[in-house]
């Protein structure tokens, strides 16, 4: 695990709760597009999660089949603890991305623009 994660206290709650908080913020995002954001997470709290983005709503699902019929805009791959720490604002998303702690496939510009708007990044990737 990344040293920056071991130095900080783990927040209470679950991965799904962190993703739901993210989904609530993402639903208000100006750059939101219809489609799926799929997270492939390893380690404790891991699994495959789908953020199903509509016009003004985002639903969180642990079932990949739930997102069928919508295009996959972005896939995020990484350790669940690292991704959760990024979502919860405990570690720098850019640093984790550049060091290989987070891999992103798909529309990187869309990912970067959305992360900027959400405050997960302070400058574009």
Structural domain tally of the chain? 1
Q: Is residue 125 part of a domain?
A: no
Reported in sequence order, the residue ranges of 11-101 that DSSP labels E, i.e. its strands, are 35-42, 47-53, 58-61, 72-79
Task: Spell out the residues 6+ positions from residue 100 whose beta carbon is closer than 8 angstroms to its own.
Answer: none
Q: Is residue 123 part of a domain?
A: no
**Contact status, residue 67 vs residue 37, Cβ threshold 8 Å:** no
Q: What is the predicted pLDDT for the residue at 106?
A: 94
Q: Is residue 44 part of a domain?
A: yes
Does the global pTM surpass 0.85? Answer: no
User: Cα(105)–Cα(61) distance, rounded to whole angstroms?
Assistant: 19
Give the number of C-alpha atoms closer than 13 A to the C-alpha of residue 20, restricted to the C-beta side. 7
Q: Is residue 41 part of a domain?
A: yes
Q: What is the pLDDT of residues 83-120, one digit of tens each?
A: 999 999 888 888 888 888 899 999 999 888 888 888 88
Which domain CATH number covers 107? 3.30.1050.10
Q: What is the predicted pLDDT for the residue at 64?
A: 66
Q: Is residue 124 part of a domain?
A: no
The band of 66, judged by pLDDT with boundaries at 50, 70 and 90, is: low
Q: What is the predicted pLDDT for the residue at 103?
A: 93
Q: What is the pLDDT of residues 36-47, one digit of tens each?
A: 999 999 999 889
User: Domain limits at 21?
Assistant: 3-118
């Amino acid at each position: 695990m990344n040293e920056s994660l071991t130095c900080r206290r783990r927040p209470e709650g679950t991965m799904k709760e962190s993703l739901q908080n993210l989904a609530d913020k993402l639903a208000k995002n100006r750059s939101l597009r219809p489609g799926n954001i799929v997270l492939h997470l390893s380690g404790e709290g891991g699994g495959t999660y789908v953020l199903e983005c509509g016009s003004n709503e985002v639903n969180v699902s642990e079932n990949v089949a739930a997102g069928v019929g919508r295009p996959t805009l972005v896939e995020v791959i990484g350790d669940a603890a690292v991704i959760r720490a990024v979502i919860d604002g405990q570690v720098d998303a850019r640093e984790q991305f550049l060091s290989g702690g987070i891999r992103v496939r798909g529309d990187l510009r869309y990912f970067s623009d959305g992360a900027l708007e959400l405050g997960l990044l302070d400058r574009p990737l």
